[in-house]
Amino acid sequence: MAKSISCKLNEQLNDQVNGKAPFGAMNRRSFLQGVGATALLGSLAALGGCASGKTEGQSQSGAANTASSSSLTPSNTLECDIVIVGAGGSGLAAAVEAGEAGAHVICVERESAAGGGEAGVEGIFAVGSRVQEEQGLTDISTGQLIRQELEAAQQRVNGPRYTDMVHNSGENVNWLLDHGVTFESLDADNGVIKVFHRFTEDRGGTGYVPPMLKAAEDAGVEFHYNTLAQEIVKGDDGKVTGVLVTDENGDVAQINASSVIVATGGFAEDFEMVAKNGINTEHATYVGMPGHDATAHNMLITAGAKDYSRNTSYLMALAVPGLPGYFENGKFSFLLGVAAPYSIWVNENAERFVNEDFASVNAMLMTVPTWPNTSTHIIMDQKMLDIYMNGDADAQKQLEDGLSSGEVQKADTIDDLAKAIELDGVMLSDTISQYNGYCAEEDDADYGKDAQFLMVCDTAPFYAFNMTPDVQVAIGSIQTDRNFNAIDDQGNPIEGLYVVGVEGAMLWANIYTINIPGGCNANNVNSGRTAAKHALERLK
């Protein structure tokens, strides 16, 4: 059921698709069309001025391309100034920035519509925006915000990159406003300071994607949908000169450009990569947008970029398999992991392994202590469950569905509950008994749970919720410099190659700190614009 989050969002985008065109068969579209039917078209595009008459094997700079060693044989060669791979949040920001500066830009997108993960993003962080100024919020300390983030990350992230993102954030949101991006509110989200600019309808698919796509179209950016980038092309001098792409018909084209900006949204869909971070993916579910696998990561590594994936952080949450997800009004997805701190969490050995109120500090910590587990169960007695349910009819219906599927178990004794979830009955009884003792003493001697959440588990019937991770976004894939140039293993920038958005993010390490709400999206916009500006300088 949780997988339908991405499916529904993608269907909403695809409903607006208005046509497709393979390479060599594209028609010029009027840039005066409104956002309505053209907002998320399946393909855009006239390659006007982007003639394919250049000598094959030559880039704009005249350097010989190294695509001859590839197993891909291009049937067409296109020319432009900047090629952008991915039409999500960061890709659209880069496209608008470069297109409005007069560059000839081609953007390729593997899906049938623009938006990517941005379609489901709720908002963006900023300090110093016009929205805040209008509300009199002019005294927010950027230094304190940055310090808070660096300390939460145990100083394992790049300080200058944080200052760039935060200090540019207000101007970036003002730039979005100038391009028609709409917001419905300003709030604190998970924090305490009003820095979260919430998109109209709480969704980037409404507030961000349509106006930014229109701005890119109006600037002359050419979009090719259903088109997968597969290989970075370099000249003999090591500079990047383009990219090899394959369209939906299997036709290969070489797009030559001064710079390539990769904005592909991370690799969360590739569980082999996710597992390398120590996450047990056996029962995990991917609930992000489609197309976020390791194709781009592997393409960039092959091109000589330095791997950052050992530090990847994730947007993840715990959920009961088969029950509605968070964005589907799910009552046991995400919420159960943060809103029931009085519950008891046990692993496959029937052991407690964490203070169950820990996620109140940062909801993105929710899955971390469960990563090594073979199984994770949240245990509650009837009085705990009554508190959690609070008379909610939707929650009751979902609970009954969970009981019917077996993902939620109910029993009159702890021993019977252990049998139902295939745990050792003696061990589970001992764990609950020891926990109840800590409750009586108001002191969790094992994990230090706050005494206000210590609640004796003794009121039958007892419930066990089987919790598995929902994986949405992987943040951090390739190492980049301050301009979002990909760097090689020696720390040198790979000239002409940029990695932006979550693929090139180095602001988080292993955990998305989220104390700056919307920081990931602020990085999307900032990195896209920064890379585009640097690529424009190279054109000069």
Asked if 19 and 42 touch (Cβ cutoff 8 Å), the reply is: yes
Asked if 399 and 315 touch (Cβ cutoff 8 Å), the reply is: no
Q: Give Dmax (Cα) for the chain.
A: 81
Asked if 466 and 375 touch (Cβ cutoff 8 Å), the reply is: yes
Q: Is residue 323 located within the same domain as residue 403?
A: yes
> Residue 433: what pLDDT?
98
Amino acid letter for position 217: E
Write down the pTM of the prediction.
0.85
State the helix-helix crossing angle for 142-152 and 159-178, rounded to 10 degrees. 130
Asked if 323 and 333 touch (Cβ cutoff 8 Å), the reply is: yes
Domain of residue 59: give its range: 1-118+205-312+477-540
Q: Is residue 369 located within the same domain as residue 488?
A: no
Dihedral of CA atoms 483, 486, 488, 492 in degrees, nearest 10, equals: -20
Q: Is residue 463 located within the same domain as residue 521?
A: no
Residue 319's contacts (CB-CB under 8 Å, 6 or more residues apart) are 2, 285, 325, 326, 330, 332, 333, 334, 467, 468, 469, 470
Of the residues 470, 498, 527, which one is the last residue of a structural domain? Answer: 470
Secondary structure of 357-379 as H, E, C letters? CHHHCCHHHCCHHHCCCCCEEEE
Q: Is residue 437 located within the same domain as residue 290?
A: no
> Residue 388: what pLDDT?
97
Q: Is residue 397 located within the same domain as residue 339?
A: yes
The length of the chain, given as a count of residues: 540
> Residue 190: what pLDDT?
73
Q: Is residue 67 located within the same domain as residue 114?
A: yes
Of the residues 470, 485, 513, which one is the last residue of a structural domain? Answer: 470
Q: Is residue 496 located within the same domain as residue 483?
A: yes
Q: Is residue 102 located within the same domain as residue 222?
A: yes
What is the Cβ-side half-sphere exposure of residue 375, based on CA atoms within 13 angstroms? 15
Q: Is residue 284 located within the same domain as residue 265?
A: yes
Residue 134's contacts (CB-CB under 8 Å, 6 or more residues apart) are none
Q: Is residue 510 located within the same domain as residue 522?
A: yes
User: Beta strand pairing status for 228-234 and 240-246?
Assistant: antiparallel
Counting the structural domains of the chain, the total is 2
Of the residues 470, 504, 531, which one is the last residue of a structural domain? Answer: 470
Residue 355 CA to residue 450 CA, distance in Å, equals 8
The SS3 call for residue 425 is: helix
Residue 510 CA to residue 527 CA, distance in Å, equals 20
Q: Is residue 334 located within the same domain as residue 351?
A: yes
Angle among Cα 77, 82, 86 to the nearest 5 degrees reads 90
> Residue 184: what pLDDT?
97
As given in the structure block, the two tokens for residue 431 are 């764990």
Q: Is residue 53 part of a domain?
A: yes
> Residue 69: what pLDDT?
58
Q: Is residue 213 located within the same domain as residue 92?
A: yes
User: Beta strand pairing status for 462-475 and 408-411?
Assistant: antiparallel
CATH of the domain at 220: 3.50.50.60
> Residue 15: what pLDDT?
36
For the beta sheet containing 196-199, the strands, ordered from the edge strand earlier in sequence to the opposite edge, are 123-125, 196-199, 183-187
As given in the structure block, the two tokens for residue 9 are 């969002």
pLDDT per residue rounded down to tens, the chain (540 residues): 233 223 333 333 333 323 333 333 322 222 222 222 222 222 222 222 232 332 233 333 333 344 445 789 999 999 999 999 999 999 999 999 999 999 999 999 999 999 999 998 999 999 999 999 999 999 999 999 999 889 988 898 889 999 999 999 999 999 999 999 999 999 998 778 999 999 999 999 999 999 999 999 999 999 999 999 999 999 999 999 999 999 999 999 999 999 999 999 999 999 999 999 999 999 999 999 999 999 999 999 999 999 999 999 999 999 999 999 887 899 999 999 999 999 999 999 999 999 999 998 888 999 999 999 999 999 999 999 999 999 999 999 999 999 999 999 999 999 999 999 999 999 999 999 999 999 999 999 999 999 999 999 999 999 999 999 999 999 999 999 999 999 999 999 999 999 999 999 999 998 898 878 999 999 999 999 999 999 999 998
